[in-house]
Structure 1
Amino acid sequence: MFKNKKGILKFVFTANIFLVIIISYHEETVITMYIRDAVLGFIEINEKERKIIDLYEFQRLRYVKQLALTYYVYPGALHSRFEHSLGVMELASRIFDRLCVKRKKILRCNFLQIGLSIKEAKQILRLSALLHDVGHLPFSHVGEEVLPEGVKHEHVTIEIIKYLKPILDKTFFEGITEVIINILSKEEIVKNLTILKRIISGSLDADRMDYLLRDSIYCGVEYGRYDWQRIIDCLDIIESESGGYDLCIEHGGIHALESMILARFYMFAQVYCHKTRKIYDYYLSHVMREWYNLFVKNLIDITRYNDISVLNFIENTVREGNNHLYEFAHRIKFRKQHSVIFETSDFCDLPQLINAKKVFDTLQEEFSDYEFILRETRGKIHNFLVRESQKRENVGEKFYVLRNNRPYILTDESLIIRNIPKNFLNTRIYVAYKDKKYERMKESEIRKLIKKAEEIRRSFDNGKKI
């Protein structure tokens, strides 16, 4: 099969990962390369895909941290959107290959209706997965907070892909850019492409599968581990109510899927919404709002910047001193964060939110020597449909389980997923000295404020104020 079975071995060192690229020459002179990934092992890419990976717009992702300043808590969390994007492409490919083993005739017929072969459909899927995060701002989701209202990183991604249209169409085939945009955008999907969209973006997709595994490994925690191989092995397709095909899972894969959803909750609680990480998100959002207004004139401009750009801006702000951003920049540079003295449960309800705000207001009134910050943290654990008869919610994605070749709603089959809350919601109160801003508070003072905040909360729980 190979003209040169040994191939050519090249070693390439990068900022965060060690890549081993093995170039093999096929009979059709198609060059296949393998990137050594810390999470998934070898990731195969072809020569055309490498041209896209080598573009500046994609290489920029090497310098956009996946988890912003989470490395202030978990020192190993230095991985980037670059390797995550490669990982999503690889997992999407493995899912597609598994589905083809089970339903190749159905999928071939589905794609032929819009003039695509199985090979072309897979290439579209791989490119869509590869480019799905190309629009992330510096520090990933934290940077997203500074975008104009209603604009998310997905919108930036679409604009960048449009900008790359001449290269994409020339490298692959005319019109591939529009197909990728249709898959990645929020607009109505061409029904025959539905299955490709579900593989990349859905309640169970390659994106979530990769970042849970990757974030867990690089943070050095066990919370995000789950049996992803079993999930892929059990995936299947089912006719979509809107046309085309959706993902579903065989009954034997339910436990693996449950472990993934639980892993997502634990990662929210212990990593994504960690108290220290969230206060640095707060500082960063203030700095980045000013940075964005100064330097970014349009969405394509974002491709000129990465984490290093913002860190340089922070460094210059600290050096210049005495401006409205100095405090935030100083706290980031020297790791001088506020301390937590109050927090709700991870699934707090409206009464808890109201009481947290009352505690915050009362503390501000009674302790004028301190600076208090109220921060609310939200996250989506899952979006599976839960029937009204089981819970009040009757919205969400209808995801099916195949049992004896018959489809059943997932939350009818899984008690765990049915009962776990869909949304993560936590509220915290942080404190620091007002005059001695950057001095670490004494433990005795923190304990005193924690005790006082709890007393205030209990008083409001009992319907009266102390």
Structure 2
Amino acid sequence: MHYQEEQYKVFNDPIHGHMELHPLLIKIIDTPQFQRLRNIKQLGSAYFVYPGASHNRFEHSIGVAYLAGQITEALSSRQPELKITARDILCVQIAGLCHDLGHGPFSHLFDGLFLPKMAEKKMKDGDTEEGEKLKNWKHEQGSCDMLDYLLDKNKLPPVMEQYGLQLEEDLDFIREMISGPLDTDKAKDQEWPYKGREKEKAFLYDIVSNKRNGVDVDKFDYLARDSYHLGIQNNFDHCRFMKFARVCEVNGRQYICIRDKEIDNIYDMFHTRHCLHRRAYQHKVNKIIEHMIAEALLKADGHIKIEGSNGEMFTLSTAMNDMEAYTKLTDNVFEQIINSSSVELTEARKILQDVLSRKIPKFLGETKPKEAVKDWEKLISDWKTMLAQHLPPEDFAVIGTKMDYGTHVFLQQV
């Protein structure tokens, strides 16, 4: 494939410096569906605790696309026997660029807290089917749905073909890199569950979202970017990792591996992740504000209408069922509630006003389970029952947080 030099664009990024991106990536970036990510905070409510945490999913996604291209091109250059094609590289970059398209307002707060709260409410009201649907919905699913909508709405499939992509195969590959096997039921019974690429290129599936051990370019970017904006030290050197990365065959499968002497760098990666969770992501005030915002969204849900396709109206909790409506749903819903004079939004507005004026519930204390928790819902329920003997249930909340060093990295001599 031949491209004119001027078709590439360069982004100046505080984390990765000058990033040169393929023209097809630029066409995806320059769509309303991708530009939406400018209005979704990377760290959600952490911005109310760390004033520097103002960065968005937009710049993170571009950074992941850049790193995805860097490591794939490096592997191709060092190991030509892998037969990594230009199509492979472009697909991996697109997956990196689009992996977070499905995030809702305040990132993980939407599908990690608000939707589960809404699911619990639906189940109490007897709507079990809708409750299960909300409980199981994840932003990766939304990313694939938004990608399909983005491509169709902006008439990009013919453009992708002009750049050498084979749509039926390559779109499956991109979706699989974002969310895993497309048919999860069949995948359990198959040795190779993917459709987009053959088993010989298994290592490509570990670049953007590594389901095996969590070592991927998504983490490389957010560790560096979040640390930079939070003012927290990051000792992990992702550039060094990419220099030493090689694809090796282990137990009949191709994996991205590193030399044993580089293991300290990987330890630093998981240690940095743990520090960010302890000091920022799971910060006690951040968690309190997270629950306040989720509660406000819950109270506002039936009173905010978002127009979707064919003029159909959706609520906050149903907008992800229609990508035209979901494109309009961003962190701006916070200002929409705050600035509204609607009587129906009075309770939600009061909660968000309390967030802004720092009238937040007090942190009473914490405890660590002596053993690994197998059922978080039961544990939290038990704690609520116990505390209800001393306090009115409406006067307190029990919040469970999981803090660890991430997925295990297995060491094996090859």
> Do Structure 1 and Structure 2 share a fold, with TM-score over 0.5?
yes
Partner of 2:64: 88
The structure 1 residue matched to 2:230, chosen from 202, 219, 233, is 219
Note the residue ranges of structure 2 that are not aligned, 5 or more in a row: 116-133, 182-192, 303-314
Q: Which amino acid aligns with 1:172?
A: M
Matches within 5 A, 1:358-377: 364-367=388-391, 371-377=395-401
Q: Write the distance in 1 (CA, Å) between the matches of 2:222 and 2:243.
A: 19
CA distance in 1, matches of 2:370, 2:175: 35
Q: Could you tell which deviates more after superposition, 372-381 or 64-73?
A: 372-381
Give every structure 1 segment of 4 or more consecutive aligned residues whose post-TM-superposition deviation is greater than 6 Å: 353-359
Aligned residues: 353
User: 1:186 is matched with which residue?
Assistant: 180
Q: Which residue of 1 aligns with 2:184?
A: none
The residue matched to 1:342 in structure 2 has which SS?
Answer: coil
Counterpart of 1:382? 406
User: Partner of 1:260 in structure 2?
Assistant: 269
Q: CA deviation at 1:120?
A: 1.6
Q: Is the 8 A contact 1:248 1:400 kept in 2?
A: no
Q: Could you tell me which of 161, 168, 171 is aligned with 1:177?
A: 171
Aligned position for 2:15:
39
Match of 2:137 in 1: 151
Q: 1:382 to 1:368 in 2, by over 3 A?
A: closer
- Contact (CA 8 Å) 1:60, 1:306: kept in 2 or not? yes
User: 2:380 touches 2:399 (CA, 8 Å); kept in 1?
Assistant: no
Aligned match for 1:332, one of 348, 355, 373: 355
Q: Distance in 1 between matches of 2:158 and 2:383?
A: 60
Q: Give the conservation status (yes or no) of the 8 Å contact 1:65–1:139.
A: yes
Instruction: Report the CA distance shift for 1:360/1:178 in structure 2 as closer, same or farther (over 3 A).
Output: closer
Residues 270-299 of structure 1 show CA distances to partners (whole Å, capped at 9, x for unaligned) of: 111000100111112122234555344424
Q: Larger C-alpha radius of gyration, 1 or 2? A: 1
- TM-score for the superposition, normalised by structure 2: 0.77
Query: Alignment partner for residue 34 of structure 2, among 40, 58, 68?
Result: 58
Q: For the residues of structure 2 that align with 1:48 and 1:88, how far apart are their CA atoms?
A: 15
**Aligned amino acid, residue 238 of structure 1:** C
Tell me the secondary structure at the aligned position of residue 373 of structure 1.
coil
- 1:314, 1:333 within 8 Å by CA — same for their partners in 2? no
Distance 1:52 1:369 in 2: 48
User: Structure 2: which amino acid aligns with 1:198?
Assistant: D
Distance 2:98 2:345 in 1: 41
Q: Which residue of 1 aligns with 2:186?
A: none
Q: Partners of 1:346 and 1:337 in 2: how far apart? A: 26
Aligned-partner Cα distance in 2 for 1:126–1:348: 41
Tell me how far apart the structure 1 counterparts of residues 179 and 379 of structure 2 sit (CA, whole Å): 39
Q: Which amino acid counterpart does residue 382 of structure 1 have in structure 2?
A: G
Contact 1:68 1:140 (C-alpha < 8 Å) held by counterparts: yes
Which of 304, 307, 310 is matched with 2:328 structurally?
304
CA deviation profile, 1:223-267 (whole Å, cap 9, x unmatched):
x44222222222111226574x22111112111101111111111
In structure 2, the CA distance between the partners of 1:129 and 1:355, relative to structure 1 (3 Å rule), is closer
Q: Distance in 2 between matches of 1:361 and 1:91?
A: 48
Contact 1:168/1:177 (8 A) holds in 2: no
Question: CA distance change for structure 1 residues 291 and 347 in 2, over 3 Å: closer, same or farther?
Answer: farther
Map Cα deviations across residues 421-444 of structure 1 (whole Å, 9 max, x no partner).
Answer: xxxxxxxxxxxxxxxxxxxxxxxx
Match of 2:309 in 1: none
Letter in 2 for 1:334: S
Among 164, 174, 195, the residue aligned to 2:203 = 195
Q: What CA deviation, in whole Å up to 9, does each residue of 1:72-96 have, x standing for no partner?
A: 1110000000000011111112211
Name which of 367, 381, 399 aligns with 1:344.
367
Shift of residue 47, structure 1, vs aligned partner: 2.4
Secondary structure at the aligned position of 2:136 is classed as coil
**Separation in structure 1 between the aligned mates of residue 26 and residue 379 of structure 2, nearest angstrom:** 54
Question: Who is 2:185 aligned against?
Answer: none
Larger strand share, 1 or 2: 1
| Deviation of 1:186 (Å) | 2.2
3-state SS, counterpart of residue 343 of structure 1: coil
User: Partner letter of residue 217 of structure 1?
Assistant: Y
- Give CA-to-partner distance per residue, 1:286-333, whole Å, 9 cap, x none: 22234555344424121112111333124427x748854354333223
Cα deviation, residue 56, structure 1: 0.5
Query: Could you tell me how far 1:336 is from its partner in structure 2?
Result: 1.4
Letter in 1 for 2:247: I
User: 1:169: how far off?
Assistant: 2.0
The Cα shift of 1:192 comes to: 4.3
1:133 is matched with which residue? 100
- CA shift in 2, pair 1:344/1:142, >3 Å: same
Change beyond 3 A, Cα 1:184–1:370: closer
Check the 8 A contact 2:109/2:294 in 1, yes or no.
Answer: yes
Measured against aligned partners, the alpha-carbon deviations of 1:351-397 in whole angstroms (never above 9, x if no partner) come to 9x899877765554445599222111125532126xxxxxxxxxxxx
Q: Partners of 1:361 and 1:198 in 2: how far apart?
A: 43
Structure 1: give runs of 5+ residues left out of the alignment.
1-25, 112-117, 386-398, 408-466
Q: Quote how far apart the aligned CAs of 1:342 are.
A: 0.9
Pair 193,81 (structure 1): closer, same or farther in 2 beyond 3 Å: farther
Answer yes or no: is the 8 Å Cα contact 1:65–1:80 preserved in 2. yes
